[in-house]
Chains A and B, each alone.
Chain A
Amino acid sequence: MADPSANQATIAGTQAWIRRQGRWSPYEIAFWIAVFVPFFFFPTYLTLASQIAIAALFALSVDLILGYAGIITLGHAMFFGLGAYAAGLLTKTGWGEPLTGLLISGAFVALVGFVVSFVIVRVQHLALLMITLGLGLLTLELANAMSWLTGGTDGLQGVSVWPIFGTFDYDLWGYTAYSYTLAVLFVGLLIARRIVHSAFGLSLRGIRENLNRMPAIGAPYQRRLQVIYTISAGMAGVAGALLTQTTSQVALDVLSFQRSADVVVMLILGGTGRLYGGIIGAIIFMVARDQLAGINPQYWYFWIGILLMIVVLVMPKGILGFLAQLWERIRR
């Protein structure tokens, strides 16, 4: 059989390759410097900037399962909304400390995600689409019916969150909100980076490319998909909890199908299977929506529809994928 030292050399080589993939590129560092620009140049847009950071974290959570593991979802707002309600209800019980609130909400939603993952790994294709869609709608209907707990269509009012670290209170301009959401997004990205640039992350990509071949090379897919689905649900829950904490209220639309669709649209715009795809997509989507907010929302969706069709037909790998291809072509 194979020479054990050669085998070890292969493993060492693979580990070195994975480490090389995980290095910080100059573009990434530039991006994380650029996120501080709103503080100095657009201080009136800090509230929008914090909304973008929340949407980006949500999109990142979807990217983990959709972009890397290939699980298509049309109902991820379920976890976002559950996180939002969990954080809101937690403050109602008298515990308004934000950081532990985030952790508790995230852990609760991850638990729900773990339970749901048993259903998810059983199905593929159309049934998967329908089950994610159905579970999302189911949660929405449930939240609407349990209005004694959730406030129904009126939303959950009177959420009071304590200042962060007991000192930084939420100001009208959103300095605290943006710093807070940005910090959480950064931590989320670090976690996602660590996952993606690991042997586990690599095996997820293998599952995405060929579900049947992975068990054949000794990597059963069910358990791995369940792990990533649970992590993704928890991250989406944290994003929802952030929304509650920075806006001090929960509306029923955190669970809506529209939100599930929007987040997938953001991800597709930016590019799936890239850590920054969801973030770039969220920036473009949210800024465009803010600029067109004066127009009737129905017409706003006209342009999003056109944009979606063009992206799918012309740049199936999203804007980042398109730029990467362009860059390759120029360099040659």
Chain B
Amino acid sequence: MTGNLLIVLFDGLAFGMLLFVLSVGLSVTLGLMNFVNLGHGAFGMLGGYVALVVTREAGLSFFLALPAAFVGAAVVGIACERTLFRRLYRSGELNQVLFTVGLVFVATAIATFLFGTGQQPIQIPDVLRGSVEIGGLRFGIYRIFLIVVALAVTAALIFGLEFTRFGASVRAAVDNQRVAQGLGIDVDTIFAITFALGCGLAGLGGALAIEIVGLDPTFAFHYLIYVLIVVAVGGLGSIGGSFLAAALLGIADVGGKYFVPELGSFLIYLLMVGVLFWRPLGLFGKR
């Protein structure tokens, strides 16, 4: 029983780390520009399909597919931001929501057209397959890899935000955009770069997700809900908050489905509504 509990905790943590990589970009961009981008899941899906094409069509290694997914999603993300999204920064949330929902509809249709509705498997290197046995329990190597990648991403983000000049500008812009602008910080450029990075991370998350949850055209919508839960519960612009919320959500989801499968996803939705009712700004939200 304790063994099962440990495995559930471990799997939940790995799933949570996946959700963290998928959603941290949205948390930062939402905190920065208050732009409600429901298309974030679509960038994750894009990264997944890029990884698929790189490994299957071009025959390259999975380790090359991950950076390719990051770059692909980042490039498309910045292109969308420069041409489309920036027109909507000043209009209301509803317009932003609808525009990006429209984007998800289009992305889903294009993915269906190009790849069909079926689940797409991905070839992962032999190194990442199988499991290791520690104390009589088997831990999947891929899930360990996931946790390591997520921790590396977190470390890089925290270092980038806390100890670099660019990070200081981002934090200033999140805290108070107008004052930051008044001090000569180019908020517009900062936002474009952050947006690209956020989309890239979503793409990386999408590529990492295939092995765990599969990839089909409904990915954009299905994981959008998880992503939004992480962002809303963690609090806007808070990396630590997103990390904790993602870990919590992953464990609650995997644990809920393992111990009370008949309730399905009911538990996590209840958890989210409860947390937001208690703290509308999220667990670590400042404003």
Contact = CB atoms under 8 A, between A and B. Distances in A.
Interface of A: 66, 72, 74, 119, 122-127, 129-131, 133-135, 137-138, 141-142, 144-145, 257, 261, 264-265, 268, 272, 296, 298-299, 301-302, 304-309, 311-313, 316
Contacts of B101: 261, 265, 305, 308
B38 to A, nearest CB: 9
Contacts of B236: 126
B98 to A, nearest CB: 5
B225 interface: yes
B139 interface: no
B91 to A, nearest CB: 6
Residue in B217, B225, B263, B266 with the greatest tally of chain A CB atoms within 10 Å? B266
Nearest to A118: B277
B109 A134 contact: no
Contacts of A296: 112
* Chain A residues touching B, majority SS: helix
30 contacts: A72-B94, A74-B97, A123-B276, A123-B280, A126-B231, A126-B232, A127-B232, A127-B280, A127-B281, A130-B228, A131-B273, A134-B273, A135-B269, A138-B266, A138-B269, A145-B262, A265-B98, A265-B101, A298-B108, A298-B112, A298-B217, A299-B112, A302-B109, A305-B102, A305-B106, A305-B109, A309-B99, A309-B102, A312-B98, A312-B102
Q: Is the interface of B mostly helix, strand, loop or mixed?
A: helix
Interface of B: 30, 36, 84, 87-88, 91, 93-95, 97-99, 101-106, 108-110, 112-113, 117, 217, 221, 225, 228-229, 231-232, 236, 262-266, 269-270, 272-273, 276-277, 280-282
Nearest to A125: B93
Contact of B91 (A145, A261, A298, A316): A316
A134 B112 CA distance: 27
Choose among A257, A296, A309 the residue with the greatest number of B CB atoms under 10 Å from its CB.
A309
Given A131-B273, A265-B101, A296-B112, 6 more contacts: A127-B276, A129-B97, A135-B273, A137-B269, A138-B269, A264-B98
A133 B225 contact: yes
A137 B225 contact: yes
A298 B99 CA distance: 18
